[in-house]
Amino acid sequence: MMNKIKEFLDSEVIPLEPLLLNSRFAPLLESLEKLRAKVKNAGWWAPFLPSSEGGMGLSLLQFAELSEILGRSPLGHYAFNCQAPDVGNMELLRQYGSNEQKEKYLKTLTDGSIRSCFAMTEPDRPGSNPTWMDASATEDGDYYIIKGRKWFTSAADGASFCIVMAVTDPDNENKYSRASMFIVETENPGFQIVRNISVMGDPGEGYFSHSEVEFNNCRIHNKLGLIGETGSGFKLAQERLSPGRIHHCMRWIGICERSFDLMCQRASDRSISPGRKLLDEGIIQNWIAESRAEIDAARLLVLKCVNAIETDGSFSARMEVSIIKFYVADVLRKVLDRAIQIHGALGMTDDTPLAFWYRHERGARIYDGPDEVHKRAVAREILKRYSDSS
């Protein structure tokens, strides 16, 4: 099956990339809908969901393998309806949503007729600290009134609803119980997209946007708006992010593999003088060898983490999750940079996906917790064992 999906990606998905790289997301929509229909007909839709809910029913390990294949194209995950942030929102609603929320939001998100977004990071607060935020949700009878500003709300442009984290109990002594999660429809009169944030010169649009959004007294009914229990926002965020980091890391490895292929092909094709090609240069050979070793090592680390999560749960595997987050993000940075360098001026253009990935994936070392925060968490966990034994 995985070989068939890879063949489909190469023959059906990758040929659409020039439209994305040289125009915008909107001109692609008609072609992408036809592509998604083919994916559905092939039985590959929403691979992480149980077959009883319209998905492929893959395990976390199987989905990790598939995610690497789909990561070879910027359009891969979207074509299979397993793109972030929708995949995380679907998993969250499946596990913690009420029956009403599942019927109204999860069902339509699952069948691909709508998109969603996720709002947690704030302009004036560090995104690595989800216990410290200004956005608030105040009770008003059977309703909540949500106020605040968020940014880097990915895919907000064109989304039908937003899952937002806001403070409901600011005076709670337990900082992990101060916030809750809510569903806010983007048609709510108080919801506003302030702007699509330009990322390295590209403001993006649609699924490829990162928006700054405003919640101006968004009034939502607590029965349909509140996800889970009041004060469970931090817990839900962690439940959502841990498997999400697996998805991201395997997608990054897919990007690395495609970049590696492009790197090797360019080195083989490019003449630098009569009778001499790039592949004859020792530094190029070093980069290729180092990239191959680093990609393979990154994959093994992620699979080790998947095994830990499936065996002991995401909370027990939090150190393994942090390790892959900073390690794979750094491998991605190095492989992409080498691939662009080997391509020379061509690597700076949008004639290949390398420049697109460089713009959009430099954030891999920042979002879902910067590298430095994860490294510190890993070191503390390791050193705690030595302290406990002394």
pLDDT of the residue at 367: 87
In whole angstroms, give the CA distance from residue 131 to residue 111: 33
CATH code of the region 237-389: 1.20.140.10
Cα distances from 127 to residues 133, 153, 203, 291, in angstroms, run 9, 12, 20, 30
Architecture of domain 2-83: Orthogonal Bundle (1.10)
State the 10-residue block means of pLDDT for the chain, 390 residues long. 94 93 80 95 94 91 94 96 93 94 95 95 85 93 96 94 96 94 97 94 86 97 92 88 82 97 96 89 96 98 92 81 95 98 96 94 90 94 81
Model pLDDT, residue 192: 98
Q: What is the model's pLDDT at position 91?
A: 92
pLDDT of residue 65: 93
Instruction: Give the per-residue pLDDT at 86.
Output: 95
Q: How far apart are CA 36 and CA 23, in angstroms?
A: 20
Global pTM?
Answer: 0.92
Q: Rounded distance, CA 228 to CA 191, Å?
A: 22
CATH class for the domain made up of 116-231: mainly beta
Q: Say what the pLDDT of residue 56 is.
A: 94
Domain ranges for the chain, please list them.
Answer: 2-83, 116-231, 237-389
Asked if the peptide bond before residue 85 counts as cis, ω within 30 degrees of 0, the response is yes
Residue reference for tokens 């940079």: 337
pLDDT score at 200: 87
